[in-house]
Amino acid sequence: MSRVVKLAVIPGDGIGPEVVAEAEKVLEAATAASDVTFEKTPFSLGAGRFLDTGDTLIDDDLAAIAQHDAILLGAVGGVPGDPRLKDANIERGLLLKLRFELDHYVNLRPSKLYPGAAGPLADPGDIDFVVVREGTEGPYVGNGGAIRRGTPQEVANETSVNTAFGVERVVRYAFALAERRRRKLTLVHKTNVLVHAGGMWKRIVDAVASEHPGVDVDYLHVDAATIFLVTNPSRFDVIVTDNLFGDILTDLAGAVTGGIGLAASGNINPDGAFPSMFEPVHGSAPDIAGTQKADPTAAILSVALLLDHLGLGDEAARVTRAVEDDIAARDATPRTTAQIGDAIAGRVRA
């Protein structure tokens, strides 16, 4: 009996559809010989959809997407500052809404410096770590408000929401991941200043650590973590942190491992109650959209994360290996988005 995986595909805007097309080629190549069939449903969401219909993410979209086993997303968003998109709020109304509604409490962002990738560090060492960023809490939940708006007395509150339940489940995921890797876990927070939330994160990590005596646990303030990510990134294995710190650290992590064209991510609901969503970290890059200059590698590595999440470890490994080989063979010759996708798909098939 062949297994059918229902995949919702959200190509999105700008370079989103360009990189997703290549990711789909590679997915096809990776599963051609296996008994898994991907049944894909495209969803037209993003700035383009908003301009056409005025809708960002309606309940029917959400209900339909939730019926799938997994989601592949390119990138959404128009040209920053486009006045027609003033009310669209793609980031909150679409991306964050998907993450919150589908309970993507793990935002998984691996950072690996592949041999041959052009990172900015002179002596980077062996960079291979994963940031486990909490995805449904922190200051991103929209708990706050403003009063006396537009006056000199304006007050704006943005409350960071941290629940013991929410922190414990993501911390448990991070420990389990560390057990499968090099058994080192670093909590990043700012416990010296954010004493309430930071204190709870620290206590929960300490409590869960007692169940994982084989995992070496350490703690860094977020400001110190940014230093080490540049001066000694090879010290990290698994980093667990909150939504805001994780957002910032992973952009830095992407930069030290060869840039935005390579950084993949998973928005994961580990319990499987909802489909998990896999996407490159980058945005829709309107500045290069339509020029075939986008690097599809981040989207392709997101497919590897997707395959891994679905329990298709062999297929995932073939994609990762093909990407590694492609990166190692890169030279200064420019290639189009499709040429990179074809080359990687070819290596997967070989």
> Under the criterion CB under 6 A, does residue 264 sit at the interface with ligand NAI?
no
For this structure, is 190 an active site residue? yes
> Under the criterion CB under 6 A, does residue 252 sit at the interface with ligand NAI?
no
**Closest distance to Mg ion from the beta carbon of 344 (Å):** 25
> Under the criterion CB under 5 A, does residue 247 sit at the interface with Mg ion?
yes
For this structure, is 251 an active site residue? yes
Q: Tokens for 239?
A: 């980093």
Question: For Mg ion, what does the binding mask look like between residues 88 and 117, x meaning CB under 5 A?
Answer: ------------------------------
In the DSSP assignment, the letter for residue 232 is -
Who contacts 319 (Cβ-Cβ below 8 Å, separation ≥6)? 26, 30, 300, 301, 303, 304, 307, 344, 348
Q: Which is nearer to Mg ion, 237 or 247 (CB)?
A: 247
CA distances from 198 to 138, 162, 201, 332 (A): 11, 9, 5, 46
Among Mg ion, ligand NAI, none, partner that 247 touches (CB below 5 to 8 angstroms by kind) = Mg ion
Contact criterion met (CB below 8 Å) for 297 and 347: no
> Under the criterion CB under 6 A, does residue 17 sit at the interface with ligand NAI?
no
How far is 208 from 341, CA to CA, in rounded Å?
42
Q: Which is nearer to Mg ion, 134 or 247 (CB)?
A: 247
H-type helices in the chain, by residue range? 16-31, 47-53, 59-66, 90, 97-101, 164-180, 195-209, 222-231, 243-256, 297-309, 313-328, 337-349
Among ligand NAI, Mg ion, none, partner that 284 touches (CB below 5 to 8 angstroms by kind) = ligand NAI
Contact criterion met (CB below 8 Å) for 76 and 70: no
For this structure, is 314 an active site residue? no
> Under the criterion CB under 6 A, does residue 326 sit at the interface with ligand NAI?
no
Residues in the chain: 350
**Closest distance to ligand NAI from the beta carbon of 183 (Å):** 31
Q: Which is nearer to ligand NAI, 107 or 162 (CB)?
A: 107
Q: Which is nearer to ligand NAI, 98 or 188 (CB)?
A: 98
Rule CB under 6 A: choose which of 72, 95, 229, 249 binds ligand NAI: 95
Concatenating the DSSP letter of every residue in 62-92 gives: HHHHHTSSEEEEEE---STT-GGGTTT-HII
Rule CB under 6 A: choose which of 11, 17, 48, 78 binds ligand NAI: 78
Task: Give the sign of the dihedral formed by CA 132, CA 134, CA 139, CA 142.
Answer: positive
**Closest distance to ligand NAI from the beta carbon of 279 (Å):** 6
Among ligand NAI, Mg ion, none, partner that 78 touches (CB below 5 to 8 angstroms by kind) = ligand NAI
| β-pair type (238-241, 155-158) | unpaired
**Closest distance to ligand NAI from the beta carbon of 15 (Å):** 6
Among Mg ion, ligand NAI, none, partner that 71 touches (CB below 5 to 8 angstroms by kind) = none
Of the CA atoms within 13 Å of residue 228, those in its CB half-sphere come to 15
> Under the criterion CB under 6 A, does residue 298 sit at the interface with ligand NAI?
yes
Q: Which is nearer to ligand NAI, 140 or 201 (CB)?
A: 140
For this structure, is 325 an active site residue? no
**Start-to-end CA span in the chain (Å):** 26
- Among candidate residues 69, 103, 242, 247, the one labeled active-site is 247
Contact criterion met (CB below 8 Å) for 284 and 46: yes
> Under the criterion CB under 5 A, does residue 134 sit at the interface with Mg ion?
no
| β-pair type (238-241, 128-134) | parallel
For this structure, is 308 an active site residue? no
Judged by CB under 6 A, the chain residues 275 through 294 that form the site for ligand NAI are 279, 282-288, 294
Site for Mg ion, rule CB under 5 A: 247
Residues marked active site are found at 140, 190, 223, 247, 251
Positions that interact with ligand NAI (CB under 6 A): 15, 19, 75-78, 80, 91, 95, 260-261, 279, 282-288, 294-295, 298
